[in-house]
Structure 1
Amino acid sequence: MLKIENLNVKYGAIHALKGISLSVDEGAVVTLIGANGAGKSTTLKAISGLMQPSEGSIEYQGNNIAGIPAQEIVRRGISQVPEGRRVFANLTVAENLDLGAYLEKDKAVIKDNFVKVFNKFPRLEERKNQLAGTLSGGEQQMLAMGRALMSRPKLLLLDEPSMGLAPILVQEIFDIIKEINEAGTTILLVEQNAHMALSVAQKAYVIETGKIVLQGTASELRESEEVKKAYLGG
């Protein structure tokens, strides 16, 4: 479904991604793990059109989408849940969700999308008229995920969904990620919590200073001494 080859991204003089290659099969959960500043978020931003690669290809469903505007990427079926949630604090929950469906003109489809999101996140329905800025961190994460799902993506990019959440909420968010995947959405998950990421993914990549240094099945990486030492506290 997604194939990245020799992707290079530069921020001015900083070479953030140095020739990374990875692939995501349709229906899978693939995770990209690594320390802060390793290039995880930059990878997602390049896929979703928020950053322009200096070199390399990003092939999605057989077409190279590198350099295509972000709104066109969404139209093609890719949605991103940004790091830090980035909800619109001064808008209600319902208004935030509505913005996620901005490309959809059919009101019946939008209504159906609301029903699906509220089924997955009942707390959002309870708080639909509440300002997003007054929600707890966990609820804001649910809102950010719900907003991305309003466009019915085929591929969902998740950037650090567990960041800043209490352990009990982290488990809840990861249970929801599994549900979203089981309902048919392919997921590329960027996450510092390697233990949780490897528990839901089938395939995993480790990125360090802009380069992929390890890859394999999630179970292989769980058993890797390097991964245990660096990311699993082993």
Structure 2
Amino acid sequence: MLKIEDINVYYGNIQALKGVSLSINEGEIVTLIGANGAGKSTMLKTVSGLLKPKQGKILYEGQSIGGKAAQSIVKMGISHVPEGRRVFANMSVEENLQLGAYLRKDKAGIKQDMEKVYELFPRLLERLKQQSGTLSGGEQQMLAMGRALMAKPRLLLLDEPSMGLAPLLVKQIFHIIEEINKTGTTILLVEQNANLALSIADRAYVVETGRIVLSGKSEELTTSEEIKKAYLGGH
């Protein structure tokens, strides 16, 4: 579904991604793990069109999307939930969700998807008219995910969904990520909690200083001594 070939991405003169290649098959959950600043968020921003690769190819369902405008990429079926949630604070929960569907014209489909979002996140239904800025961190994360789903993505990019949340909420969010995947949405997940990410992902890539240094099935990486030492708090 997604194929990244040898991309190089820069912030000014600083090279953030160095010849990165990876692939995601339809229906998978693939996770990127690695230290802060390794280039994981940069990878998501490059796929969603917020950053342009200097060289290399990004193919989505066989079409080249490297360097396309972010809005065209959303139209093609890729939604990005950025790190730090980024909800529109002075708009209501409902307005935020409606904005997620701004490129769609199918009124009946939008209504149906709104109901699906409320099923996944009953808390949002309770807070419908509330200003988003007054929600708790966990509720804002739910809203950011719900808003992304309103674009009806086939590929969902999730950046640090557990960041700053209480452990109980993190569990809940991850359960919902699995539910979203079961409905047929492919997921590329960036997550600092490597144990949790590997527990729900099919495959994983380990990113270090802008390069992929290791990849494999999640269960293989979970038992790898090298990964345990570096990322899973094991010895």
- Regarding TM over 0.5, the answer is yes
By how many angstroms is 1:107 displaced?
2.0
Distance in 2 (alpha carbons) for counterparts of 1:103 and 1:129: 22
- 2:193 alignment partner in structure 1: 193
SS in 2 for 1:49: coil
Q: What is the letter of the counterpart of residue 33 of structure 1? A: I
Distance in 2 (alpha carbons) for counterparts of 1:139 and 1:226: 36
- 1:2 alignment partner in structure 2: 2
Alignment of 1:1-234 (within 5 A): 1-234=1-234
Distance in 1 (alpha carbons) for counterparts of 2:192 and 2:185: 22
- The gaps in structure 1 that reach 5 residues or longer are none
Distance in 2 (alpha carbons) for counterparts of 1:107 and 1:214: 44
By how many angstroms is 1:224 displaced?
1.0
Q: What is the letter of the counterpart of residue 206 of structure 2? A: V
Distance in 1 (alpha carbons) for counterparts of 2:151 and 2:116: 11
CA RMSD of aligned residues (A): 0.6
Aligned residues: percent identity?
70
Per the normalisation by structure 2, the TM-score is 0.99
By how many angstroms is 1:186 displaced?
0.3
SS in 2 for 1:216: strand
- The gaps in structure 2 that reach 5 residues or longer are none
Per the normalisation by structure 1, the TM-score is 0.99
Distance in 2 (alpha carbons) for counterparts of 1:198 and 1:106: 36
SS in 1 for 2:109: helix
Post-superposition, which runs of at least 4 consecutive aligned residues in structure 1 deviate over 2 A? none
Q: What is the letter of the counterpart of residue 148 of structure 1? A: A
By how many angstroms is 1:213 displaced?
0.6
Q: What is the letter of the counterpart of residue 125 of structure 1? A: L
Q: What is the letter of the counterpart of residue 108 of structure 1? A: A
Q: What is the letter of the counterpart of residue 75 of structure 1? A: K
Q: What is the letter of the counterpart of residue 109 of structure 2? A: V
Q: What is the letter of the counterpart of residue 41 of structure 1? A: S
Count of aligned residue pairs for this structure pair: 234
